Structure formats: C-alpha cells, structure tokens
C-alpha cells in the first residue's frame, strides 16, 4: 500500500535489463581491457574480468555509451529483436 518497500536493497531485484532495445556485444578477443566502458557505464553493468570485460545483462539498459566510448570499437550494439 502506498508503494512502500519494506526491505532495503530491493532494487537489486528490479532487473532493468528488460528495458533494453539494443544489447552491447563485446568481441572479447579484441578487448584491450582499458576499462573506459567500465568507467562510463551509468548502470555499473560492465563487469571487470581478468583479461577483458563482460556485460551484466540483468541491469544493462542498452544505452550504448560503452560502444560509443570504446577506443577499439569492439563493442557492437545488436538489436534485441523483441
């Protein structure tokens, strides 16, 4: 009632990934792990890995900032075709 949320940290349960119209796809082999995408991602949906980055599709809204900022142009925005 009144849209009250009774527990803390519940926003994690809100998977905003389903807002996405385009999904970022990383060509992992060509990623130089500069982490510019990790810095720029407004949703903290870029996950740091040992040699390259991965995308957390549960929360990535598909804004495309990562693809725009990638100096090696190895992130492509692919139509979700929903």
Partner 1 sequence: MTIVGLTGDEAIAYAVKQSKVDIVAAYPITPQTIMVERFSKYVADGEVYTGYVCVESEHSALSACVGASLTGARVFTATASQGLALMHEMLYIASGLRCPIVMGVANRALSAPINIHGDQSDMMGSRDSGWIQIYAENAQEAYDWTIQAFKLAEDRDVQLPVSVNIDGFIISHSMEGVDVLEDEVIGKFLQSRKPLFTMDPEKPITVGALCFTDYYFEFKRQQVEAMQNARGVLDKVCKDYKGISGRNYGAIDTFGMEDADAAIICLGSTAGTAKEVARKFRAQGKKVGAIKLWLYRPFPSKELIEAAKHAKALAVFDKAISFGAPYGALCTDVVSALHELEERPRIFNVIYGLGGRDIQPSEIELVFNRALEIAQTGVVKESTVFLGVRE
**What is the contact surface with partner 1 in residues (CB under 8 A)?**
1-8, 10
For 45-64, b/e burial (b = at least 16 CB within 10 A) is: bbeeeeebbebeeebbbbbe
Question: CB of residue 22 vs partner 1: minimum separation in angstroms?
Answer: 20
Question: CB of residue 43 vs partner 1: minimum separation in angstroms?
Answer: 14
Question: CB of residue 5 vs partner 1: minimum separation in angstroms?
Answer: 4
Residue 8 or 81: which CB sits closer to partner 1? 8
């Amino acid at each position: 009632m009144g849209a009250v949320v009774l527990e803390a940290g519940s926003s994690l349960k809100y998977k905003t990934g389903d807002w996405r119209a385009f999904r970022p796809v990383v060509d992992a082999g060509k990623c130089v792990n500069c982490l510019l995408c990790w810095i720029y991602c407004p949703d903290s949906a870029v996950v740091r890995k040992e040699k390259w980055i991965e995308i957390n599709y549960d929360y990535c809204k598909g804004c495309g900032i990562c693809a725009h900022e990638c100096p090696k142009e190895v992130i492509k925005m692919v139509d979700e075709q929903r």
